[in-house]
Structures are given as structure tokens and as C-alpha cells.
């Protein structure tokens, strides 16, 4: 079978794996997991299928080492965002001008193709002492239930997440915390202001305070590579009809966090903002609900996996790779929390979640070569 990452990427793009939690009616990971399972089994991997959530499978493929070596996990997600916003055929991979186009080409079926080919090449070179583990996971684009399920049953001495990074090495990224603030009013006929309390108008005071909170964060102490945390209102719902005072106004707040911050610290900050309003704004009251939250990530650059990949990347690129931090969240944080030292490294390209998406084919080949050498070195 071919060990060309571009050919494998074409096959992956052609399969709809849009996340149904984001795009109602999305196909999910069943078909793409089946294709990957067949490919990995044919290349000698021991394949485990995890499917706590029916229709949302993740795969863990293992090439057992001879013993006494370090194990390495490569992690990539199988799901994509929806297809509806894509201009052209999202499932029709097209190569032109050194780029391959299609939904997921950049985010991140290119990384999945590279890690599968690299693992097959590295294990085909001869016996490695350490295990090589491929985690092809579901649901990263929504709640990362796939990686969470994998980490309940599998571990490794180190990991590489092959999210796209323009062949630059990502050693830190932000986290996030979502909260729902329900500002409470009192329903009444629109002709009876003496009886009603306008929850939407009261929510306006909170929105002003939220903006001021954001300014304080921007002026605060910054992380060396990630800057400061941020906060914004992302969704607002309130009211029932024009002639009624609204009893409730729900505002969803997202707080992006940097190392040293987490959902608990954000909860305390947000509660302080809201409690101040209860003492300064007449008839202001609220309920607060904590939603999904994910921790920020910061790798130790002295870890062996970081040094190993940097060495092989420099050899392949002809110069030391750029070390960067990302504002978005990735599964690196879950791996790190599970005690697995990790980093992020992936292809060049663009258009993640956009109307046109592409990966640079030369960078895909280079990524595959770097991963192959890193696996061979780390697991020997």
C-alpha cells in the first residue's frame, strides 16, 4: 500500500466527518474511523475502537515495541466543522499550485494523514523498543470527548498533537471557560411599569461591566507568549413579546484563560462583577451557571519530546523552527493534564473553518518526514 501522505489525505477529505454537535445532520466519525481502521490494520497496527457515545468512535492504534523504550502517542482528530459554508465541493479534494483543497485539508486531516504514514514508516524501519500509539479521535471540534475517552484507557511517555501550525512548534495555548449569566426581572404587562422589572435593561448594566472587565484584563499582567486573558459576551437571549416586561435575560460569557487561570478563578472574578451590580443597581439579581471549561496549556521546553522534535525539525527545515503560542484551545491541554508531556506541530496552509480550506502539500511531506524521524529516535 502507498505511504504517500497526500494520497491518504485525499481519501480522508473525501469522507464526510462533520461533527453533528456543530452541524445538525453531520455524519460524525463512523465512516472515517472505519477507513482508518482498515488502513491501520493492513499496516500491522493493533487497533482498538472506543465508542462511548454511539456513532462517535475514536481509534487507538498501537505498534508494540520490543520493550525498554519510551512510548509516543500521536493525536489527531477525525471530525471537521460543517460542510454547508464551504465554497465548492468540500468532499472533492483538489490539488493545484502545490495546495490540496477540501474541508478538513488543513484542520486537521493533513495531520492525521501525516501521523499515520509516519508511524507506518517508522515501525517499518525495524524494531522499536517503545510503543507507537496513534489516537484518531472524535469530537475535538466540540467537546473533545474522544481524547477524554482515550486517556481513560491509554497513556504514553510523551505525545505530539498534529494540529496545523505552519511547521512551527506550539508549546503553549489559551484555555477557556463558559458561563451563563441569567439576569432576573419580573414579568408584567407592558403598560404596568410599576409591576414589571425589565431583565434586558438590567442586563445592559452587566454588559457594560463585562466590557470594563475586559479592559482591566487587557491592562493586567501578561503571559510572556500568550498575552492576557480576555472576556466577551457571545450569546444573548431575552424577552417573549413586545408587550411584556422580560422576566429573564440569559447571556453566555466566554473567558479565554492563560496559565495561572482556570474555571475557578474565572468564577470568582465573574461573581465579584455580578455581586457589585447587586449592590449598585436597584433590583438587579442574577443566577450563574458554569458551562464547559478547558485549561490552558504550557509545555516544558526541556522535555525530551520537545528537544527530539526540535532537533529533527531543524535538520529538515535547515533552520531552527519557530516556537509559538496559540490563542485557540487544543487537546494538548488534556494530554498535559493526564501527565503526558506534549507539544503541537503540524502543516502549513489556511482556511480552518472557512469557505475555502487548504494544506500546503510540500509541508505535508516535510511534516511526515519530521514525525517519522522523531518517532524513530524517541522510541528507539
pLDDT by residue (tens digit) across 150-205?
Answer: 999 999 999 999 999 999 999 999 999 999 999 999 999 999 999 999 999 999 99
Same domain, 316 and 238: no
Same domain, 192 and 313: no
Say yes or no to pLDDT of 137 above 80. Answer: yes
- CA nearest neighbour of 45 among 146, 118, 149: 118
Same domain, 191 and 127: no
User: Please, what is the average pLDDT of the chain?
Assistant: 97
Average pLDDT over residues 60-84: 97
Count how many domains the chain has.
Answer: 2
Same domain, 29 and 126: yes
Name the residue range of residue 220's domain.
175-294
Confidence category of residue 127, pLDDT binned at 50, 70, 90: confident
Same domain, 85 and 164: yes
DSSP 8-state symbol, 221: P
Same domain, 119 and 190: no
Say yes or no to pLDDT of 336 above 80. Answer: yes
Tens-digit pLDDT profile for residues 196-231: 999 999 999 999 999 999 999 999 999 999 999 999
Say yes or no to pLDDT of 369 above 70. Answer: yes
pLDDT for 75 equals 98
pLDDT for 126 equals 82
Q: Which CATH number do you get for residue 234? A: 3.30.70.360
- Exposure b/e, 121-157, CB count within 10 A at least 16 = b: bbbeeeebebbbbbbbbbbbbbebbbbbbbbeebebb
pLDDT for 1 equals 56
Same domain, 258 and 315: no
Q: Which CATH number do you get for residue 340? A: 3.40.630.10
Q: What is the pTM of this model?
A: 0.94
Same domain, 202 and 273: yes
Examine the fold and report which residue of 294, 313, 331 is the final residue of a domain before the chain moves on: 294
Same domain, 25 and 95: yes
Same domain, 56 and 36: yes
Size of the chain, expressed as the number of residues it contains: 380
pLDDT for 34 equals 98
Same domain, 220 and 305: no
Amino acid at each position: 500500500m502507498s505511504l504517500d501522505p497526500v494520497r491518504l489525505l485525499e481519501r480522508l477529505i473525501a469522507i464526510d466527518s462533520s461533527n453533528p454537535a456543530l452541524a445538525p445532520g453531520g455524519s460524525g466519525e463512523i465512516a472515517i474511523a472505519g477507513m482508518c481502521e482498515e488502513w491501520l490494520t493492513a499496516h500491522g497496527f493493533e487497533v482498538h475502537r472506543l465508542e462511548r457515545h454511539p456513532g462517535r468512535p475514536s481509534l487507538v492504534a498501537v505498534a508494540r515495541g520490543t520493550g525498554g523504550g519510551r512510548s509516543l502517542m500521536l493525536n489527531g482528530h477525525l471530525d471537521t466543522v460543517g460542510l454547508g459554508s464551504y465554497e465548492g465541493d468540500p468532499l472533492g479534494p483538489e490539488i493545484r499550485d502545490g495546495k490540496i483543497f477540501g474541508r478538513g485539508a488543513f484542520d486537521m486531516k493533513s495531520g492525521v494523514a501525516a501521523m499515520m504514514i509516519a508511524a507506518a514508516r517508522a515501525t517499518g524501519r525495524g524494531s522499536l523498543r517503545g510503543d507507537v500509539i496513534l489516537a484518531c479521535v472524535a469530537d475535538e471540534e466540540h467537546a473533545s470527548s474522544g481524547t477524554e475517552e482515550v486517556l481513560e484507557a491509554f497513556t504514553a511517555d510523551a505525545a505530539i498533537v498534529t494540529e496545523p501550525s505552519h511547521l512551527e512548534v506550539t508549546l503553549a495555548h489559551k484555555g477557556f471557560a463558559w458561563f451563563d449569566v441569567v439576569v432576573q426581572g419580573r414579568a408584567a404587562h407592558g403598560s404596568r411599569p410599576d409591576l414589571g422589572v425589565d431583565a434586558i435593561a438590567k442586563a445592559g448594566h452587566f454588559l457594560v461591566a463585562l466590557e470594563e472587565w475586559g479592559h482591566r484584563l487587557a491592562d493586567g499582567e501578561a503571559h510572556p507568549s500568550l498575552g492576557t486573558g480576555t472576556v466577551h459576551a457571545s450569546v444573548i437571549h431575552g424577552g417573549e413579546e413586545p408587550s411584556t416586561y422580560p422576566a429573564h435575560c440569559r447571556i453566555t460569557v466566554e473567558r479565554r484563560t492563560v496559565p495561572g487561570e482556570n474555571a475557578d478563578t474565572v468564577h470568582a472574578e465573574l461573581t465579584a462583577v455580578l455581586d457589585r451590580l447587586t449592590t449598585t443597581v436597584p433590583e438587579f439579581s442574577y443566577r450563574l451557571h458554569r458551562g464547559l471549561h478547558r485549561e490552558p496549556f504550557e509545555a516544558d521546553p526541556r522535555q525530551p519530546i520537545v528537544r527530539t522534535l526540535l532537533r529533527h525539525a531543524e535538520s529538515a527545515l535547515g533552520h531552527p523552527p519557530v516556537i509559538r503560542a496559540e490563542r485557540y484551545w487544543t487537546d494538548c491541554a488534556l494530554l498535559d493534564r493526564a501527565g503526558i508531556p506534549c507539544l503541537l506541530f503540524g502543516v502549513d496552509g489556511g482556511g480552518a473553518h472557512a469557505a475555502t480550506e487548504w494544506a500546503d502539500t510540500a509541508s505535508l511531506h516535510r511534516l511526515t518526514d519530521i514525525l517519522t524521524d522523531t518517532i524513530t529516535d524517541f522510541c528507539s
